[in-house]
Amino acid sequence: MTNAPTDTVASPLVPRKGFSRMADPVFAALTGAAGILVLIILGYMVVVTTLTAWPAMQSQGWSFIFSTTWDPSRGQYGILAFVYGTVLTSLIALVIAVPFSLGIALFLTEIAPGWIRGPVAYMVDLLAAVPSVVYGLWGVFVLLPGLLQPLAVWLSRTLGWIPIFAGPGSGLSFFGAGVVLAIMIIPIISSLSREVLRAVPSDEKNAAFALGATRWEMITGAVLPRAKAGIIGAVMLGLGRALGETIAVALLVGSREQITASILKPGYTMASIIANQFTEATGDHIRALVGVGVVLFIITIVVNVAARALVWRMVEA
């Protein structure tokens, strides 16, 4: 049409002006900068802490890692017992938390009637918001006398012939700390697993049902294989939280630097030694404590990278 109001219709090839045209590059630059900033901060943390700790690590040599003797008064700093305690309490926490969390997640996605799901899920999520010091105090004042101590004594009496339950059993132990850690990470693992399970396509569930699967067979045959990678990711995030948890563990682990096969004996963890001694430490002692932090950092990074690699491998397969 010749009489079309051409002056009000922009030609399709003339670039738009103003903010909306600039938005994409600005957005890209901002997000890129934020990403790089995170990397810089992370790198800076690693460098500064390592430099601070280095003199102590160097003077101890390999015994910094491989010795269990931690005696600031004689200038001996061996952290193996703390590494052991951190790994052991976290493993105990996982052994307890994973089945519970999966049970909760499966119940809430596949079994519970609709009206129960929302409220229960909400309550479980709320547990994740409880500060860890509250878990620790609750553990000490309620769980320890009411459950952990009697349970530890009972375990050492009945199963004491198995080295990991050798007595005398105490609630202030790897075991006690592990139980409280488990309670702390159940909400994380179960709510992440729930999201993963919810994402399993209902097509596949229906396929299993239509082949004559019971609900249980549908879950093991169709839901879990599909959700495996995500569940492992959720578990690893829980593990990351357990490895770094400080206050609750410091209150319950018993604070004795020793390596024992029995989980019912008191121990120590990396985060709790830092928390307990940092304020009163000076000189090499402080440097050694920072060194403990560096090693803990490395362990959590290794766990995270391993988790990611595992999840990727499974997603590929």
Partner 1 sequence: MSEEPAFRVRDLAVSYGSQVALKDVTLDIEPRKIIAIIGPSGCGKSTLIRCFNRMNDLIPGTRVQGQVLYHGQDIYANDVDPVTVRRNVGMVFQRPNPFPKSIKENVAYGARINGYKGNIDELVERSLRGAALWDEVKDNLNRSALALSGGQQQRLCIARAIAVQPDTILMDEPASALDPVATSKIEDLMQELKERYTIIIVTHNMQQAARVSDKAAFLYTEVNEAGTARWGVLVEYDDTSRIFTNPRDKRTDDYISGRFG
- Least separation in angstroms between residue 216's CB and partner 1 is 10
Q: In 3-state terms, the chain is what percent helix, strand and coil (to 5)?
A: 75, 0, 20
Task: Return the SS3 of 216.
Answer: helix
Residues in contact with partner 1, counted by CB under 8 A, come to a total of 19
- The residue range among 33-41, 162-170, 186-194, 201-209 that interacts with partner 1, by the rule CB under 8 A, is 201-209
Tell me whether residue 18 or residue 114 sits nearer to partner 1 (CB atom).
114
Task: Return the SS3 of 130.
Answer: coil
Q: How far apart are CA 267 and CA 244, in angstroms?
A: 16
- Least separation in angstroms between residue 311's CB and partner 1 is 15
**In contact, 267 and 85? CB cutoff 8 Å:** yes
Give the x-and-dash track for 213-242 against partner 1 (CB under 8 A): xx--x---xx--xx----------------
Q: Name the packing angle between helices 174-198 and 80-106 (round to 10°).
A: 40
Q: Which of 209, 256, 275, 304 binds partner 1 (CB under 8 A)?
A: 209
Contacts of 61 (CB under 8 A, 6+ apart): none
- The residue range among 47-55, 68-76, 131-139, 198-206 that interacts with partner 1, by the rule CB under 8 A, is 198-206
Q: How far apart are CA 185 and CA 248, in angstroms?
A: 12
State yes or no: residue 119 binds partner 1 (CB under 8 A): no
State yes or no: residue 71 binds partner 1 (CB under 8 A): no
The binding site for partner 1 (CB under 8 A) comprises: 113-114, 201, 203-204, 206-214, 217, 221-222, 225-226
